[in-house]
Structure 1
Amino acid sequence: MDRQHAIARAAEHFDSGTFLADLERRVAHPTESAFPAREPALREYLTAEMVPAVERLGFTARIVENPVSARHPFLVARRVEDPALPTVLTYGHGDVQPAHPEQWRAGLDPWRVVVEGDRWYGRGVADNKGQHSINIAALAQVLAERGGRLGYNVTLLLDMGEEFGSPGLSELCDQLRDELAADLLIGSDGPRVAADRPTVFLGSRGSMNVTFRARARAESHHSGNWGGVLANPATVLINAVASLVDGRGRLLLDALRPPAVPEPVRRALAGITVDQGPDSPVLDESWGEPGLTPSERLFGWNTLEVLAMTSGDPDGPVNAIPADARVHCQLRFVVGTGWESIEEQLREHFDRSGFGMVEIDVEHVMAATRLDPENPWVGWTLGSLERSTGRTPALLPNLGGSLPNEAFADVLGLPTVWVPHSYPGCSQHAPDEHLPAPLVRESLQLMAGLWWDLGELGSDWPPRAR
């Protein structure tokens, strides 16, 4: 009974095809949380697949109704060896983005795992069914190697609305504080920095979706007869957005800019290279905040992106001044940004700048979180991954994307450590989502090592500085 045998069990679990068979069943559930008609599939994923899977490992599992969105239930499962022992909370989500099967290339089906060489294709293989399946399977191998005891307690929380913005997650954590109480969160979502580099991240950038609208009048009017005497809402809106971010992506409004990159974050990012694998786009070196490295711009800074914009009929333009215009934007922001007052400051800025016509509609906000890179759990996790793989893992102070980590970091007050099992080119949220099989195999092994190492700590939670 030792660590290496636990890791070997995890590798054998992959090599035998058992893990792939489990994933095939899970991907077959069409758990698209954006569509109300998929509610039965969301519930069936939990009741038919995940509850039996965790009960076999000694968990007591129950479906918990969402306090905010009735069609997005949760699974709460607890494995308590001794109430006096430390507890780790682990999180994943069983819902997926809309599949759009007609957009997948020939031979692929989002609801069926298709194996082509070293790649596994299917909706959810990367985000997030594959990732939480890896964690559960690795835990099972450690339990088998330890004779059915871990030396700590485990609580599993599965979210069936993460791709819909995780409605109700923070409220659930607030309501179930005692049931979800833990000493540490270990979650898996998002990508590694590169397929061949194990990664740890400590939180995520926040996100704010905001729509700007300009309405000038009820109808459009002939651009020759009225051009020069009627305000053009599209022109107003273009200039309003240009007052927030310039033509090179640099933020111009102080309210949208974060404080300077903290020194511990800068040190951590010094060893990070933004992925430039064959499936990744080529970086635009002159884009974004000047004076920062690409990794600092991606993981340590804020960005305002225009997601979509329209005025008139782009597919059939006519010679008329449009009546209205709108643009959908998204602010990604790091810890330290005063996001709570951004809507008010945008309003003041637009009014001061002569853009009073522009309306502001903040539609969704997810807070930014970041565990201190010098927290003892960080070095401990990096050390565990390095022992399992023989390679130095990457440390990201926070993910470039956004996760509902505030429910754990802020509501439950936990140190949050994320170990992702995907890579930047996996096409998550897009057609042809996939994972490389070697990455899956390695992830099973490193998670087996991580679950094993937690049992070696005894009462040393958190671990002493090493």
Structure 2
Amino acid sequence: MVTREDVLDLASARFDDGTFLAALARRVAIPTESQDPRGAPHLSDYLTSEIRPTFETLGGQFRIYDNPVVGGPPIGVGTIDEDPSLPTVLVYGHGDTVRGQEGQWADGRDPWRLDRDGDRIYGRGVADNKGQHSVNLAALQTVREARGRLGFNLRFLLEMAEEVGSTGLREFCEAERALLSADLLIASDGPRLEAHRPTVFMGARGAFNFDLSIDLRAGGHHSGNWGGLLANPAIRLMHAIASLVGPTGAIQVPELKPAAIPESVRACLVGLSVDGGPDAPEIDPGWGEPGLTPAEKVFAWNTFEVLAMKAGNPDAPVNAIPPWARAHCQMRFTVDRDPETFLPAIRRHLAAAGFPEVVVAPADKGYFNATRLDPQHPAAQWAVRSVARSAGREPAVLPNLGGSLPNDLFAQLLGMPTIWVPHSYAGCSQHAPNEHGLAPVLREGLRIMTGLFWDLGESPPNLAP
């Protein structure tokens, strides 16, 4: 009889004998850049030539659907139905990547070729997200081979547009509610809290992008002849922003902040540090909301960020007062504040503060809603116990990721508890040259996910509504 420990050892062997890395190398070699038109044919190829045959080894069917949005890449869904009385799990991932940035990687590395250097495994997508959904696929394969069946019903959703805002995914989920209906989401994306510590999170902060702009006149005017007489839009905009967020990053408008941190959220963040590894930037201790720990600032609070600013021509400045100034800004927010209230609150504040000329407009792209599953939810408690049992130590438990994911589609639109177990770390150079995963993290991730899927078939959590 195969035991739980036996199946975890089989997962370790899949990494140690090179089987897992060989599959990951094939996937990295497909240049699935959704941000570049040259990647378009490869987005389809990834589903047809790589994921479909892999999923079929599980004994399931993998269908490729047209994107509901014209011009959007296809979406793949694998299905396995073993017994209607068993729980159904939805597993999500994305096969697209950011640009390869060829020629910018250290030591002449090719982003589309897997390259191992010690514990570091380089390649575009190793961290985001090919390595992560490859871990989950391999864990599913391990469980099925060991048990002869999964022990649950499966929906495997793989999109190819996450890096460009998940084009068409919302429309697809709305149209295919019945297909994607499940009792639980188990997925992997984002980083661990610390590289050496397994992490479980149950949602994500939202991202709301918007523009602040001032247009005062048709063109620039000589700063010698008109300086001191004409209002400078760049100066006005800087002061307007300074009225919204203070010099150390603390939000000045109460309507943009959570009223409080729930006790269940605060409790699970006690003692957690934020550590991105040796290549991560050093935390500025005085930055952000006063009185909060670094973990509370990232996982339980809202932040106001200025992502870009422009006035005049910074590359070739001239002696002229610019006619306009613009800033692209962002709110990262938790479920404790309704994002629909942000822009009205900013407009009211700026008008009262003496900046009525500032135009506040939502951005065309850059929106994810916030989600959070209560850390005391039975599914969350079950997942934490399973991960701890497989890893031999307690994981870090986060109420939500600091970054943003399309988790609202699963938690809110499709209405299921959501569990995320990441297999990367904050220093992975995600979205930059030299993206990499860590061999110990990927290997342990295989054991953890194999344990989760094994437990789902043996002793699933109470998933009653």
Secondary structure of 2:107 counterpart: coil
* Contact 1:376–1:463 (Cα < 8 Å) also in 2: no
Larger displacement relative to structure 2 (327-336 or 125-134): 327-336
Secondary structure of 1:243 counterpart: helix
Match of 2:452 among 447, 450, 461: 450
Partner of 1:311: 311
Displacement, 1:423? 0.6
Partner of 1:378: 380
Counterparts of 2:367 and 2:407 in 1: how far apart (Å)? 12
Please list every run of 5 or more consecutive structure 2 residues that lacks an aligned counterpart in the other structure.
Answer: none
Counterparts of 1:442 and 1:240 in 2: how far apart (Å)? 48
Partner of 1:341: 341
* Contact 2:72–2:167 (Cα < 8 Å) also in 1: no
Partner of 1:422: 424
Counterparts of 1:463 and 1:366 in 2: how far apart (Å)? 27
Partner of 2:242: 242
Partner of 2:13: 12
* Deviation readout 1:336-362 (Å, 9 max, x if unpaired): 112112222222222232222222231
Displacement, 1:79? 0.7
* Deviation readout 1:401-446 (Å, 9 max, x if unpaired): 0000000000000000000000111011111000111111111111
TM-score (norm 1): 0.97
Counterparts of 2:69 and 2:273 in 1: how far apart (Å)? 40
Match of 2:437 among 435, 438, 450: 435
Partner of 2:327: 327
* Contact 2:72–2:168 (Cα < 8 Å) also in 1: no
Secondary structure of 2:197 counterpart: coil
Q: After TM superposition, list the pairs within 5 Å mapping 1:99-138 onto structure 2.
A: 99-138=100-139
* Contact 1:142–1:451 (Cα < 8 Å) also in 2: yes
Runs of 4+ displaced beyond 3 Å: none
Counterparts of 1:362 and 1:429 in 2: how far apart (Å)? 24
Do the aligned partners of residues 203 and 213 (structure 1) sit closer, same or farther apart at CA in structure 2, a change above 3 Å counting? same
* Contact 1:76–1:155 (Cα < 8 Å) also in 2: yes
Partner of 1:88: 89
Counterparts of 2:115 and 2:343 in 1: how far apart (Å)? 45
Secondary structure of 2:356 counterpart: coil
Q: Which amino acid aligns with 1:455?
A: G
* Contact 1:69–1:167 (Cα < 8 Å) also in 2: no
Counterparts of 2:243 and 2:370 in 1: how far apart (Å)? 24
Displacement, 1:107? 2.5
Q: Which amino acid aligns with 2:237?
A: L
Q: After TM superposition, list the pairs within 5 Å mapping 1:161-176 onto structure 2.
A: 161-176=161-176
Counterparts of 2:45 and 2:158 in 1: how far apart (Å)? 13
Partner of 1:33: 34
* Contact 2:276–2:427 (Cα < 8 Å) also in 1: no
Larger displacement relative to structure 2 (370-379 or 347-356): 347-356
Displacement, 1:310? 1.4
Secondary structure of 2:386 counterpart: helix
* Deviation readout 1:279-335 (Å, 9 max, x if unpaired): 221111111001111110111000011111111222332221111111111110011
Number of residues of Structure 1 aligned to a counterpart in Structure 2? 462
Counterparts of 1:276 and 1:416 in 2: how far apart (Å)? 24
Q: Which amino acid aligns with 1:58?
A: G
1:274 aligns with 2:274: yes
Counterparts of 1:114 and 1:138 in 2: how far apart (Å)? 23
Partner of 1:229: 229
Counterparts of 2:12 and 2:378 in 1: how far apart (Å)? 29
Counterparts of 2:194 and 2:113 in 1: how far apart (Å)? 26
Partner of 2:288: 288
Partner of 2:263: 263
Larger displacement relative to structure 2 (357-366 or 431-440): 357-366
Displacement, 1:69? 4.7
Please list every run of 5 or more consecutive structure 1 residues that lacks an aligned counterpart in the other structure.
Answer: none
* Deviation readout 1:251-297 (Å, 9 max, x if unpaired): 01122111211100000000311115212211111110011111101
Displacement, 1:215? 1.2
1:143 aligns with 2:144: yes
Do the aligned partners of residues 25 and 196 (structure 1) sit closer, same or farther apart at CA in structure 2, a change above 3 Å counting? same
1:181 aligns with 2:184: no
Counterparts of 2:454 and 2:283 in 1: how far apart (Å)? 39
* Deviation readout 1:136-184 (Å, 9 max, x if unpaired): 001101111102x122111100011111111222221121111111110
* Contact 1:207–1:366 (Cα < 8 Å) also in 2: yes
Q: Which amino acid aligns with 1:62?
A: R
* Deviation readout 1:223-277 (Å, 9 max, x if unpaired): 1211122111101111111111011000011221112111000000003111152
> Percent identity over the alignment?
55
* Contact 1:86–1:461 (Cα < 8 Å) also in 2: no
Counterparts of 1:462 and 1:339 in 2: how far apart (Å)? 29
* Contact 1:311–1:325 (Cα < 8 Å) also in 2: yes
* Contact 1:307–1:328 (Cα < 8 Å) also in 2: yes
